[in-house]
Structure 1
Amino acid sequence: MPSNEPHAPVSSSFVVRRDGDPVPESLKGAVAAIGNFDGVHRGHRHLLDMALRSGRPAAVLTFEPHPRSFFQPDRPLFRLTPEPVKLGIFARLGLAGAFVLRFDGRLASLTAEEFVTLLKGELELSGVVVGHDFHFGRGREGNPERMSGLCRGLGLDCLIAPAIVEGSEPVSSSAIRAALEAGDIAAANTLLGYRWFVRAPVRHGDKRGRELGYPTANMRLPDDCRLRHGIYAVRASVNGQPVDGVASFGRRPTFDNGAPLLETHLFDFSGDLYGTTLDVEFVGWIRGEERFDGIEALIAQMDRDSEEARRMLKADRTPSMVG
């Protein structure tokens, strides 16, 4: 989910503090939920809610790039919410701001004690919230119990959030990635607590959709996107307004079998979206990508896909994090 402005402000009241910046007045003495927060799913939101209920400024402390990208650079990570998207969700949830720490060799080398000292000294926090499985410090030497003891020694409050479970499994970013890779939008959105969405600029294509009677907004998603190729019911945000549609993500086997592309047809919409950055929410899975022997067969299937998308969209009640 690329963005044209990766460090653009996300809200007039939400502030972002990065390495080397002074701590904004509005974040001094904050209680910060700590984690990677990829997806900002229901489990993450429980931590954020605990910070919001603290009675002090509520913030989040997160890391960029994702630590796995630092430790395993040869294994691209399917990011559910790249930094600009993640920060936008934090702002919508009512947090005062975010501390974004660059995850590099310096940060990775800090001991557990040094990391907690940074929280108290450099970041001027008054308390933290961590998950039940949180690890920190060099070699992941610290755990929640260690965090609690170190915080107590420095006069910091420390809250430990329990796991949030769906069925018999904890809600996790890994489970959401697996659901999206399988095309199981319903499961992914249940775990997230909102409709998963992508953000990217609309680019010029070959105009083939217009010739078929289905003009599309074409978006190139990051190479690490592992969403299953197929047809989806979607809802886009156009000038702040939701517009229903149907989208294909894949290689277009009927035509060129090229690089993966998200092609979104918006129902009952006419307008020029080229160059704009579009948020597209995924509502439901319709079918896998197919190769058709002729244009007529393809158009007939697109008609059926559109009908199914309209049905799914009409029935959907999942909350949105867009707009």
Structure 2
Amino acid sequence: MPSEIRRIPAIESLPAALRGGVVAIGNFDGVHRGHQSVLQPALDIAARDGVPALVLTFEPHPRQVFRPDVPVFRLTPAHMKARLLEALGFEAVVEHPFTRAFAGLEPQDFVKTVLVDGLGISHVVTGFDFHYGRNRGGTPATLAEAGRANGFGVTLVEAFSDEGGAVVSSSRIRGLLGEGEVAEAAGLLGYRFTVEAEVTGGKKLGRTLGFPTANMALPPQTELRHGIYAVRFRRADGRLHDGVASFGRRPTVDEDGAPLLETFLFDFDGDLYGETCAVSLFGFLRGEVKFDGLDPLVAQMKRDEEEARALLSGVRPLSALDLGIAFKGAAA
């Protein structure tokens, strides 16, 4: 496994040493189990052939280009996606700029410009429904034909379904997170859903109530159900702390405020301001409630802490990815 994945901003920037590799193509938002069913064959073929294993993805998300008025709730921003791909074993991810001009390439030009001249691939792996080029005119059949004509192999992977027979998709996972179903979402991701942001200062009301919190502003397009979660908090140095977090508008004390993630770390006393930290969600405890005063709020927060401690005491990693994201380090 590479010690650190290379993030390459465009196909033109690909180092010569990484040409001739196996490339998995896709947006891969979430790097979920469905994506992993495409990514793993690319790793296997690269290992078999002794060539680099790469991922070709696109920035920004295509929907941000074609529908800028509809915000995209990204499960994994580019830096988090790269970290997951690194954990899987890829050597590099090419984050090629996605523009209307790029989307307008004729399918044959996409093959020549991107795959042949740009990346010099020996093999490409994609999902069975992969389309490319202007008006999505490139199909799996034309890709296979292009591979024969240009001397690269093509592997198409069928859709991956969960144990219940339903296809695993990023949109399905977004929907589950919007309902607070973080445990079910984790089952589809193969790891606990994790957010990352800088810890910022707040009104310090939690500290006066005996529950000091690390406050993090998430992107406004985050479609996570407002409520209380059992979480694991990872600091920049890798140290882990169990905790309970509230995501929402704090209706008891500040119902007009912007949504904020506030995490109370168990058995911790320190300064986190300015640190970029990660929070992994293990369970949804309850929805957001407006209490009639601070005393009932504090009583409920104590019950939330007890429930979160109990839930987190028995958790186990779901996969190697989960082990790296939510379990690496020394728990509090």
TM over 0.5: yes
Given that 2:11 and 2:94 are in contact with CA atoms closer than 8 Å, whether structure 1 keeps it comes out as no
**Any unmatched runs of 5+ in structure 1?**
1-10
Q: What is the letter of the counterpart of residue 233 of structure 1?
A: A
2:196 to 196, 199, 210: 199
Given that 1:193 and 1:318 are in contact with CA atoms closer than 8 Å, whether structure 2 keeps it comes out as no
1:73 to 68, 73, 78: 68
Instruction: Write out per-residue CA displacement over residues 235-265 of structure 1, whole angstroms, 9 at most, x where no aligned residue.
Output: 0112212210000000000011110000001
Partner of 1:15: 6
Partner of 2:224: 227
* Large movers: runs of 4+ above 6 Å: none
Q: What is the letter of the counterpart of residue 286 of structure 1?
A: L
For these two proteins, the number of residue pairs brought into alignment is 313
- 1:132 Cα offset (Å): 1.5
Q: Distance in 1 between matches of 2:73 and 2:289?
A: 24
Instruction: Write out per-residue CA displacement over residues 2-43 of structure 1, whole angstroms, 9 at most, x where no aligned residue.
Output: xxxxxxxxx754212222643224411110110000000001
Q: Distance in 1 between matches of 2:170 and 2:73?
A: 10
Corresponding position: 1:272 with 2:271: yes
Partner of 1:128: 124
Partner of 1:5: none
Q: Distance in 2 between matches of 1:78 and 1:23?
A: 29
Q: What is the letter of the counterpart of residue 113 of structure 1?
A: Q
Q: Distance in 2 between matches of 1:155 and 1:204?
A: 57
- 1:146 Cα offset (Å): 2.1
Compute the RMSD of aligned alpha carbons: 1.3
- 1:122 Cα offset (Å): 1.3
- 1:171 Cα offset (Å): 0.5
Q: Distance in 2 between matches of 1:13 and 1:177?
A: 28
Q: What is the letter of the counterpart of residue 212 of structure 2?
A: P
Partner of 1:285: 284
Given that 1:183 and 1:227 are in contact with CA atoms closer than 8 Å, whether structure 2 keeps it comes out as yes
Corresponding position: 1:143 with 2:142: no
Instruction: Write out per-residue CA displacement over residues 155-176 of structure 1, whole angstroms, 9 at most, x where no aligned residue.
Output: 1111011111011211100000
Corresponding position: 1:169 with 2:130: no
Corresponding position: 1:53 with 2:51: no
**Any unmatched runs of 5+ in structure 2?**
none
When normalised by structure 1's length, the TM-score is 0.94
Given that 1:47 and 1:129 are in contact with CA atoms closer than 8 Å, whether structure 2 keeps it comes out as yes
Partner of 2:31: 40
- 1:114 Cα offset (Å): 1.0
Corresponding position: 1:105 with 2:100: yes
Corresponding position: 1:186 with 2:170: no
Instruction: Decide whether aligned partners of structure 1 residues 183 and 49 sit closer, same or farther in structure 2, where only a CA change above 3 A counts.
Output: same
Q: Distance in 1 between matches of 2:292 and 2:58?
A: 48
Corresponding position: 1:82 with 2:80: no
